[in-house]
Amino acid sequence: MSTQFVTPELREWIVSQAAAGHTPEVVLEAMKASGWDESIAMDALETTLREHLDPATGDGYAEPEAAQRPMPGRSISAATPQVAAGDRDVAVLMAMSHPRVVVFGDLLSAAECEELIALAGARLSRSETVETRTGASEVNEARTSEGMFFLPAEFAVCARLEARLARLLDWPLENGEGLQILRYRPGAQYRPHYDYFDPEEPGTPTILKRGGQRVASIVCYLNTPAAGGATVFPDAGLEVAPVRGNAVFFSYDRPHPATRSLHGGAPVTAGEKWVATKWMREGRFE
């Protein structure tokens, strides 16, 4: 179906399904089964339920506490294109709300980018992903980069960047995981994924004991690849160009695809791509 409109009848139907006790996931599946495009169906569900259901009733649909709780970078907008982040002023190049994505410029100096690359270089190994089935880290074909983690404040440049990010995003430094450095060689990529931990997976409760869910990510570009390597958000049709010193920030107020936070690193086609990623948890990560 190429053109799909959210009519008043559809809104009424969604509300009636909610009133009958069906979960949003069940309603979404029913809409997909009858030909609705997934992202349009998710949007219709979100907006209809937000508008029609009184959060005070606690019916479990709109997760009102989640929608209203503080989130990293919540007050950032393009209306304030320069944000004071302690030791540096950072530029807001683009901001959008759904998915919540902000592109920053001039977050790191060229010297800081080079220092992080030099410090990480000797410690790189094939990247792993946290396997939510078991809670352990594993090598995964979806992620063909090489990487390493710095301990919190392991070097002065790490401590400086961590403090800058905490200030910029107004999120406690203690809630951040250690900086991760990734190197993508030509052909390497990170296929689209969510950074939050899937609540349905058996390993997730173990992972969440340390700091709770991830609620936001920032990918800082340490160099400008010769070609390829954009960070992509398929649900938004958005591609962010990797440019040295810039960064893409995105948040997800609940661990659900409705956040549209699906994202990936497109294959690098020439040269290398280096990034520093920081994931933010809802609580102290220690």
> By the criterion CB under 6 A, which residues form the site for ligand PD2?
182, 190, 195, 217, 219, 231, 263-265, 275, 277
Least gap, CB of 246 to ligand PD2 (angstroms): 12
Is the separation of the CB atoms in 49 and 6 below 8 Å? no
DSSP summary character for residue 179: P
Minimum CB distance to ligand PD2, residue 73 (Å): 16
Q: Does 253 bind Zn ion (CB under 5 A)?
A: no
Beta bridge partners of 193: 263
265 interacts with, out of ligand PD2, Zn ion, none, CB within 5 to 8 A per kind: ligand PD2
Q: Which of 112, 115, 162, 195 binds Zn ion (CB under 5 A)?
A: 195
Residue 6 CB, nearest approach to ligand PD2 (Å): 30
CA pseudo-torsion sign 244, 266, 214, 140: negative
User: 264 is in the binding site of which of ligand PD2, Zn ion, none (Cβ under 5 to 8 A by kind)?
Assistant: ligand PD2
User: C-beta of 233: minimal distance to Zn ion in Å?
Assistant: 11
Residues 244, 183 contacting (CB under 8 angstroms): no
Residue whose C-beta lies closest to Zn ion: 195
Least CB distance from residue 239 to ligand PD2, whole Å? 10
Q: Are strands 180-184 and 128-131 parallel, antiparallel or unpaired?
A: unpaired
Considering the complex, state which of residue 14 and residue 216 has its C-beta at the smaller distance from Zn ion. Answer: 216
Contact 226, 169 (CB under 8 A): no
In Å, what is the CA distance from 223 to each residue of 165, 183, 191, 229? 19, 10, 20, 11
d(C-alpha 235, C-alpha 262), whole Å: 7
Would you tell me which residues interact with Zn ion (CB under 5 A)? 195
